[in-house]
Amino acid sequence: MRLFHEFAELASTNTYLAENYRRFEPPVFIRAVRQTAGRGRLERSWFSGTGGENLAMSALLRIKTENPALIPIVAGNAVFTALSRYARLQIKWPNDIYADGRKLGGILSERITSEKNLFVIGVGINANTTEFPADIASTAASLRGITGHEFNLRALWVQLARALVAGFRTPVERLPADFIRNYNAHAWRYILRREISSEPLEFATLLEDGRAQFQGPAGPVILDMAD
């Protein structure tokens, strides 16, 4: 059984797996050398760089859970932990990876609704980009820009695949206290939700069900990923 499948070009690795999951037996990991229409949370677009510059990958995993809202949290933490060996990072709830106050990577988790406990987890990492488009130049970071070293994308792909498998080795029902403590210790402190407040909300703690508590001008605010 092949675990890894590389494509020269895909519009979106997540879309491809969501549309073609019946061709594969999970776990399986795909990568596009060039991704032309990467997607993020809430239908945002994701900058993938030129072909062979950054990592665009997706995993098809069968995960035992009664709380799918935990999948993005666990996936983000797995990627964060794997990449932390290269640089001092932070994780912005629920699962954006930050370095030096700029976004290094993102994770998009999607459930295959027709199959029990089957998920597609997409990971986009700015690996070797040295120049970003003007609209994100001040807010994006890359591993190469941080470390000064060029990264082997295939090796990084395998590393993150292993991290995801390890992260979901046991059923996902509630986040344990040690997971929450570690997440809180590396959490990005502020997010802006203009529908709630014109001022940034300050992260307080991750909750065991995957939601997060923030402190707003009027008091505590609890957010879930559907907000």
73 contacts 81 by C-beta, under 8 angstroms: no
pLDDT at residue 79, as a whole number: 97
Which among 73, 178, 27, 55 has a CA at the least distance from the CA of 123? 55
Residue 13 CA to residue 38 CA, distance in Å, equals 8
Q: What is the value of pTM for the model shown?
A: 0.91
Q: Are strands 45-46 and 4-10 parallel, antiparallel or unpaired?
A: unpaired
For CA atoms 81, 68, 48, 46, the dihedral sign is: negative
**Confidence label for 137 from pLDDT (cuts 50, 70 and 90):** confident
Which amino acid belongs to residue 226? A
pLDDT digits (tens, 9 = 90+) for 73-85: 999 999 999 999 9
Beta bridge partners of 10: 35
Residue 159 CA to residue 27 CA, distance in Å, equals 14
Residue 174 CA to residue 166 CA, distance in Å, equals 17
Q: Averaged over 44-64, what is the pLDDT? A: 82
pLDDT digits (tens, 9 = 90+) for 86-111: 999 999 999 999 998 999 999 999 99
